[in-house]
Chains A and B, each alone.
Chain A
């Protein structure tokens, strides 16, 4: 007997509630336009707004000073500083103990070739070697190594903490229950909110940068560890028990090795998130590639920005491909009597290459460091080229045209309209959306979350943030979904586009600002542009995945029923792909919330701008209020859309 899944269709009452809410919102808005709405119904009066920032400040000060947290973290800072100094010395020759560095660039590039070859053959060898040779020759070795020196400290730290917490969450249900909500808030919290506490508790510069980076990279490691441990096959566990393993032996010899794949996927994510964040810590004075990029973009030096962008992208792709190759790399056996050297060929070769190039650098200084003026940077020439290209009449009129059209006809009216909606009406619109897609519970949560945003006192800026997100994601859908649908039509194109999306997702988010600024200069259009590119990637990706995973017997049934391509797409493929596409849409919104904050750098009037301003001071309370506002809005969308996707999947009987 087949059990009929107890799936609730969207009940009529739910739709009716949504329509009622929407109706009231429209009435309120019309009243507002006809000028009869009292002011206190349009915006919550200032007097009624609780001084949350001040309360938070009192609380933070209590924890910081009275409870002595600051002393404790400053103590940690000292230890971390030593580690960072050491790695700084080794990577770029900071004048600290052990005074050995910097490692010659040729040695690092050589080792990268050997490791790349070991992990993934010639292609990875060329990629690894090429990345470091490019970095050295373009004259960015030192700043790249400043970034790397923090990365090599933050990534292992995040790995160890994430792994331990992941094991704890798997083992004890109460840890899991405590950690889960914290993780979902952490993942939606704008990164500026990580930065200020890091600065206050861990001093400006590399230490704060390393701490913020570490914290940012921990959540996926926890999730992957727990997932991996839960997936270990029960028979393997029983085999371990019957072999007489003690509890620790079980963990050390059975669970962790069996969860190897998931743990290594976690490592890959830790590395990528660390790289993304370490670049962004430029905002709190962390030197390196990010700082340089920030400075170059700030002074509109497009050529150098582009070069640094290429370096960051190359580093990201190299680290990603190598760590992914490590995930799939399986142990292989050697025939009996293989000598030690042969069994450890890679290690021996890597050491030999390292020593060889280090010795070479004593004889040939250029193999050690590439000095000023010896590099091949074409920054100025590129700059002229790009600016020259942008100055061509046709190009200029096109970009100007787009900018004008978007700003005057779409973006600004849309923004002004959203700002004109009375606060309670806006909350009702969001609630209607939540009730309609998710259900009663989601509707209540939406009201609470947006209500809190209204009470924070930053309503207008929150709405501008929301507007940027919605505008960018809407345009991204108009462009991304057709691309996905077209690509999904053939295997070849699906693979190509998916590979491009995969690669694009490894880029640190900061990179997406470069093309936007190049095309639209430092304007509001560039803000939407950068979010647009960033948010389009998951949309395309999940559209393709959704369409490609429609069960073949269903498309075949449609074919046999004589459906045309279009009929098949509209009646069979899209409805079945919709839950997956919703996941992509959700990710696009999350990405957009993330990017809109970074875009504050270009100049916006939203929460991000205020957040960035708090970084200069010690306004922890305000910083948190702003961060939580972003988080609450993002969480509302996340909750509603994911609920809808899960319901829909269940109703369709999809896995």
Chain B
């Protein structure tokens, strides 16, 4: 995560569904709840969300079905027109873009993967992957070469001429991923990409996805309803409920300090030791003594050390430099699941 300007920045974004959402939003009082609005015949898809996504980071938006996570991500790419607020992509207000520029933005900067793949049934794997390039007007030869390249990247070599219905679910989603990568987007949206897959395949695809991310290092907005998946993948997690963001923070912080009761319920059954890192526990004002541990180690990985070591404070280093020390008893509490 860096301190530079965010890639996507949204401020007080609203998306209401109903008869005349603009008018309703304008005269609505600020303390209306989701259920109040529903009684008036309006559904709050996105409710007053402010959020930044930074370059190279993976933001996971987590929530149960109907919480507005898919709606929010569709506002980022203006597949949905928002009712209020502003969304900037690379400093540009996308709501003010004319249609042509919007199409250009999608053609050059954005890629999206869909839950049920959204493949065109009448096109072969190769033609599906080359589709965004074709829309962009690239000539047949270059787009074919590029498509073959991405197909190879997602491990579908040799299936170029197959049609979607001839492939398994996992393979179809690989096609979806390849298509979204074909234009080399800066921003990559993934809308529950693995939810429609079997658990075993899902795991395999998550690993594959992490491999791709290490290779490509894109800015990613990833949607899931699976908290484990979110913890496994995210740099930051935004938890949504009824259209609003309940908490947006790193996995460690969410697990350690849930902001609301709703978030706490999610974290209850989570093995916190596998999520919390040494770096988070380190206190800068404590020097500690002896051999240090690396900031990226989870409490779970340090288990043996924590049990056997006798020091009260263990120094933590990032890239060799000391950033403080963590309390062993605090770490042990997390390891043992004590409240």
Contact = CB atoms under 8 A, between A and B. Distances in A.
Nearest to A245: B135
B151 to A, nearest CB: 13
Contacts of B103: 244-246
A345 interface: no
Contact of B77 (A233, A240, A242, A336): A242
A440 interface: no
B102 to A, nearest CB: 9
Contact of A254 (B77, B120, B161): B120
Given A241-B106, A243-B106, A244-B103, A332 B163 contact: yes
Given A335-B161, A336-B161, A244 B120 contact: no
Nearest to A241: B79
A249 interface: yes
Interface string B110-137: 1110111111111110000001101110
B118 A257 contact: no
Nearest to B110: A242
B79 A235 contact: no
A334 B120 contact: no
B74 interface: yes
Contact of B74 (A238, A253, A334): A238
Given A242-B79, A243-B106, A243-B179, A334 B161 contact: yes
Interface string B130-164: 01101110000000000000000000000011110
A242 B112 CA distance: 7
B107 interface: yes
Contacts of A240: 120
Contacts of B79: 238, 241-242
Given A235-B114, A243-B179, A336-B161, A258 B135 contact: no
A333 B121 contact: no
A330 to B, nearest CB: 7
A238 B77 CA distance: 10
Nearest to B158: A336
A616 interface: no
Contacts of B124: 331, 333
Given A258-B120, A330-B163, A332-B163, A235 B132 contact: no
Most-contacted residue by chain B among A243, A245, A330, A331 (CB, 10 A): A243
Interface residues of B, number: 37
Given A244-B136, A245-B135, A333-B163, A238 B114 contact: yes
Contact of B104 (A239, A244, A330, A336): A244
B122 A244 contact: no
Interface string A329-363: 01111111000000000000000000000000000
B150 to A, nearest CB: 14
B166 interface: yes
B55 to A, nearest CB: 20
Interface string A317-339: 00000000000001111111000
Contacts of A336: 160-161
A261 to B, nearest CB: 9
A238 B112 contact: yes
A25 B161 CA distance: 72
A257 B189 CA distance: 25
Nearest to A250: B135
Nearest to A247: B99
B264 interface: no
Interface string A104-136: 000000000000000000000000000000000
B107 A244 contact: yes
Nearest to A256: B122
A239 B122 contact: no
Contacts of A258: 120-122
Nearest to B131: A243
A236 interface: yes
Interface string A208-250: 0000000000000000000000000101101111111110010
A251 to B, nearest CB: 13
The 10 closest A-B pairs by CB, nearest first: A244-B107, A239-B118, A235-B118, A333-B161, A243-B132, A242-B112, A257-B122, A235-B114, A244-B106, A236-B118
9 contacts: A235-B116, A236-B119, A236-B120, A239-B112, A239-B119, A239-B120, A260-B121, A330-B165, A333-B162
Given A246-B103, A260-B122, A330-B165, 11 more contacts: A235-B114, A235-B118, A242-B77, A242-B111, A242-B132, A242-B189, A244-B104, A244-B106, A249-B135, A260-B121, A331-B122
